[in-house]
Structure 1
Amino acid sequence: MLLTNKKTVIIGAGPVGLTMARLLQQNGIDVTVYERDKDPKARIWGGTLDLHKGSGQDTMQKAGLLEMYYEKAIPMGRTVADYSGKILFTKETSEKEQYDNPEINRNDLRTLLIDSLKENTVVWDSKLTEIEEQNGKWLLYFENGKTADADFVIGANGGMTSIRKYITDAEVELTGTYMIQGEVAQSKAKSLKFYELCDDKILMVSCNGNLLVANPKNNNALSYNVIFKMPETLEIDFQNTENVAAFLSNKLSDWDESYKELFRATSLFTGLPTKKVSVEKTWKNNRPLPITLIGDAAHLMPPFAGQGANIGLFDALILSENLLNGEFQTIENAISNYEERMFIYAKEAQQETRENEIEMLKSDFSFLKFVN
């Protein structure tokens, strides 16, 4: 086996990195994951994830975790409303569809994956700052002053990874859209009208280039995104929730009061421009030692097709199979084949995401075709 007596290090304990560790570890591979978060209880903030058949769910099945995913995930219907709060479309999830793409809380998914690994597989509070080749090994430097070595490094630590420069000259690009994320605790009590509008489903509202997507069942909280074209200047203090609520209420001034009630009830805001890392640019072949990227580190993309996590998990599936199936003579050969395949499906996912991004903000109702 290619990784026998080799020390494999994964950088990043997100869903993709942890799943990669699981796939290798269940086949007896020595693998360690280094993660910048202080401990496993560090809360991951953001919307739920839905894993797709043919990518994310196939990977979970290979990892022996698909049934556990189904146990924690929630099948959810879709509701489409207009800016006045009028329901335009609603779709329940049928019994046949309950396993198609159920939504799972990010923290629940991380816990599921961590529990599937051997104790101490993840080394916490370890933010990678630099790597270098030294005496036939990768030497890794961490912000806490510690170091580690590895025979093989897999970067799974997100779009801003410092490892990318060893593999490709591709840089993070803005896609032209901005997202403000909000979370409401005890939403039924604090924003009852909006909570009832959701009706326990994913809610979508679009008007004049502004899109709101909400999930009322994100681990006892209601989470939502307000999405709009990136303005030339935007200065918001996201620590001041009243100011952010006022900004959204002003931006969506003609929207129904239930939406403004939602903004005022929000306990936590953050905002970010949407970004991508294109896979169009050729990756370097002259790497001194085995190293590659998976997930957002390889092909960061906005969430407009729900593909990011799913394509990342599919990376883990393809790469792990290449490393374990005995078909390749060297780790480098296994990596090269994975990357060639990844360039194709990741490019398709990025193209789909871009097309959706344009359509979802173009008019009031064109986004209806994305409701499934």
Structure 2
Amino acid sequence: MLLKDKKVAIIGAGPVGLTMARLLQQQNADVTVYERDKDPYARIFGGTLDLHKDSGQRAMKKAGLLDDYYKLAIPMGISITDENLHVLFTKNITPENQFDNPEINRNNLRTMLLNSLADNTVIWDRRCTDLEIRNGKWILLFENGTQSEADLIIAANGGMSGIRKFVTDTSVEDTGTLIVQGDIPDPQKDCKEFYQLCNGKRLMAAYQGNLIVINPNNNGALSYGVIFKNPYDKEFQSKDSDTVRKLLVERFSPWDYRYKDLFQSTSTFWSFPTRKLPLNTAWKNNRPLPITLIGDAAHLMPPFAGQGVNTGLMDALILSNNLTSGDYNSLQEAIEDYEQQMFIYAAEAQLSSSRNEMEMRDPDFSFRQLIQ
């Protein structure tokens, strides 16, 4: 096996990095994951994730974790409404579609993956700031002054990865969309009317260039994202939740009052512009030692086609197979084949996401167009 007597370092303990570690450990590879979070109990903010049958669930199946995913994930229907909360379309869960793409809380997914790994696979509180080469080995340099050694680096540390520079000079681009996320920990108490209106389904609505996506059951909390063309207004990207709440209430003034009640019931907001890492230039072919990228570090994309984590899990599935199958003569050859495949399917996913992004933030967009 190519990884015999080799140390593999995965940078980042997100879903993609942990799945990569699981797949390699199944083949007895020596793998360590380095994560900047202080410990495994650090809360991961954001909406739920849905793993698709033809990508994310394939990786879970190969990892022997598909049944565990089904136990933790929640099949959720969809209600599409207009700005007045009139229901335009409803998709219910049936025995036939319940396993298509059930939603799982990010923290629950991390715990599931961590429990599948050997003890001490993940080293916490290790923010990797740089890499060096000494005596034919990668040396990982961490913010706290410690160092580690590896023969192969797999960077899975997100869209703003600082390790990406060893693989590509391509820069991340702002796509022009702003997402404001809100979280209500006790929706049955704090926004009871809206919570009951959702009736266990995700709720989506679009009007005059504003899109809102609501999940009433994100591990007990109601979480939502408001999406619109980025006004590049510093106030909207403020960490002051009172300011963001006021701006959202004003922006949604033509909508039903219950949407505004939703914002009033939210104590904390997170605002961030969406970004993309284009795949239109070849990656460096003169890397001194084996190193590659997976997940958002490789192909950051806006979250408008549900493809981000699923594409990353395909990365882990293909790369782990290449590294352990015995079909390649060197680590470089195995990595090159993975990257050639990834450039094709990840570019397609990015294109799909970008098309949805442009459509959804158009002032004339309406879900009625899709339903009719």
TM category, shorter:
over 0.9
The alignment's C-alpha RMSD in Å is 1.4
- 3-state SS, counterpart of residue 361 of structure 2: helix
In structure 1, the residue matched to 2:3 is 3
Q: Aligned pair in 2 of structure 1 residues 245, 11: CA closer, same or farther (>3 Å)?
A: same
In structure 1, the residue matched to 2:223 is 223
> Cα distance, 1:83 vs. partner?
1.0
In structure 1, the residue matched to 2:277 is 277
Instruction: Provide the C-alpha distance between the structure 2 equivalents of 1:313 and 1:258, rounded to a whole number of angstroms.
Output: 37
Range moving further from structure 2, 142-151 or 235-244: 235-244
Instruction: Provide the C-alpha distance between the structure 2 equivalents of 1:252 and 1:211, rounded to a whole number of angstroms.
Output: 10
Q: Aligned pair in 2 of structure 1 residues 133, 70: CA closer, same or farther (>3 Å)?
A: same
Instruction: Provide the C-alpha distance between the structure 2 equivalents of 1:238 and 1:43, rounded to a whole number of angstroms.
Output: 21
Query: Match for 2:309: what amino acid?
Result: A
Q: Does structure 1 residue 24 correspond to structure 2 residue 24?
A: yes
- 3-state SS, counterpart of residue 217 of structure 2: coil
**Superposition TM-score, scaled by structure 2 size:** 0.97
CA contact (8 A) 2:48 2:218 kept: yes
Structure 1 segment 308-347 matched on structure 2, within 5 A: 308-347=308-347
CA contact (8 A) 2:237 2:272 kept: no
> Cα distance, 1:153 vs. partner?
0.2
**Superposition TM-score, scaled by structure 1 size:** 0.97
Structure 1 segment 52-63 matched on structure 2, within 5 A: 52-63=52-63
Q: Which runs of 5+ in 1 are unaligned?
A: none
Instruction: Provide the C-alpha distance between the structure 1 equivalents of 2:213 and 2:146, rounded to a whole number of angstroms.
Output: 42
Instruction: Provide the C-alpha distance between the structure 2 equivalents of 1:367 and 1:147, rounded to a whole number of angstroms.
Output: 56
Instruction: Provide the C-alpha distance between the structure 2 equivalents of 1:42 and 1:96, rounded to a whole number of angstroms.
Output: 36
Range moving further from structure 2, 194-203 or 334-343: 194-203
In structure 2, the residue matched to 1:140 is 140
Query: Match for 1:312: what amino acid?
Result: G
In structure 2, the residue matched to 1:12 is 12
Query: Match for 1:251: what amino acid?
Result: R
In structure 2, the residue matched to 1:117 is 117
Instruction: Provide the C-alpha distance between the structure 2 equivalents of 1:148 and 1:61, rounded to a whole number of angstroms.
Output: 31
In structure 2, the residue matched to 1:212 is 212
Structure 1 segment 91-240 matched on structure 2, within 5 A: 91-236=91-236, 238-240=238-240
Instruction: Provide the C-alpha distance between the structure 2 equivalents of 1:256 and 1:237, rounded to a whole number of angstroms.
Output: 25
Instruction: Provide the C-alpha distance between the structure 1 equivalents of 2:199 and 2:359, rounded to a whole number of angstroms.
Output: 26
Instruction: Provide the C-alpha distance between the structure 1 equivalents of 2:37 and 2:368, rounded to a whole number of angstroms.
Output: 36
In structure 2, the residue matched to 1:255 is 255
Q: Does structure 1 residue 365 correspond to structure 2 residue 366?
A: yes
Instruction: Provide the C-alpha distance between the structure 2 equivalents of 1:369 and 1:283, rounded to a whole number of angstroms.
Output: 38
Cα-to-partner distance string for 1:49-77 (whole Å, 9 max, x where unaligned): 00001110000000000000000000000
Q: Aligned pair in 2 of structure 1 residues 326, 370: CA closer, same or farther (>3 Å)?
A: farther
Query: Match for 2:286: what amino acid?
Result: N
Range moving further from structure 2, 331-340 or 87-96: 87-96
Cα-to-partner distance string for 1:148-203 (whole Å, 9 max, x where unaligned): 01000000000111111111111110011000000011112111221122121110
Cα-to-partner distance string for 1:316-354 (whole Å, 9 max, x where unaligned): 000000011110000000000000000000000000001
Q: Which runs of 5+ in 2 are unaligned?
A: none
